[in-house]
Amino acid sequence: MGRALDKLHAAGAQGVMATLALRALGVEEIPLQGPARADTATILVWGEYEQPEDGAIEITYGHAKENNRQHSKQFQLGAVSVGQGMPLLGQVLDGNSSDKTWTFETLETLSRQLDADDIARLVYIGDSQMVTGPNLDRMAELHWQFISRLPSVYSLADEVKAAAFAQGQWLEVGRISPGKGTASYKLQEHSGVIDDRTYRLVVVRCCAPSTRSERSSRTRLQPGSRNRSRSYQIMKTCDTAPPTKWLTAPHSCSRRPTQA
């Protein structure tokens, strides 16, 4: 087992994984299209873990996503899946890896492994950590369609949410999940510019069914409320691209972040 793992490491585990994943998609006749869901997770470990060898991951302290146990060392897993969870890419990462940097590197890796037609059929889905200037620039250069939650550090988020609330022209979507007590949703579409590129922005308003939640939502929507942004989400898409290019976000963006 040890010798086999050494050979796998020497060959490049990520490349082997990608080759097997693409071959499995072909064998199972799963089309390479639609959502490509990307995310990372932290794995907590215990022990000393001496300095890693060259090329090995660093097991160290970092931000733990699943809990607040900052005293434990960790490493991270990064993955991209298509279809019903079929893996397209998998990586083991340093414990203090940045999701923002990982997104950039993942885009580069996928663009080397896939041809232009494959990329055109996929929609990259990631969380708000993927929304940075370099990542958006690289998305545009590589012609990736994507969906992401946009962080509130972009000032256009508040501007678009305020405009949506002022207009009040909501499209009723209804409940996404069945069952008693589930929330319903409303949408409103806008557009905005980020670094000279126009994006479609969709504000998503959640309407909770309980009286307490409704009162809380109304309070958050009052002008000047510090929690106002929590009542909305913004989903944005490229306006310059075909309508299939949707990007999701709980906020929108301005040309530059207003805070770190």
Q: How high is the pLDDT of residue 144?
A: 92
The pLDDT of residue 255 is above 50: no
The pLDDT of residue 119 is above 50: yes
This model's pTM is above 0.85: no
pLDDT digits (tens, 9 = 90+) for 216-245: 545 554 545 444 433 344 444 333 333 333
Going from N- to C-terminal start, the domains of the chain cover 9-148, 149-260
Query: Can you tell me the mean pLDDT for 70-90?
Result: 86
Most confident of 17-21, 84-88, 117-121: 117-121
How far is Cα 103 from Cα 5, in angstroms, rounded to an integer?
Answer: 27
Query: Are 191 and 252 a contacting pair, CB within 8 Å?
Result: no
The pLDDT of residue 147 is above 70: yes
Query: Are 198 and 192 a contacting pair, CB within 8 Å?
Result: yes
Hey, what amino acid is at 251?
H
CATH code given to domain 9-148: 3.90.350.10
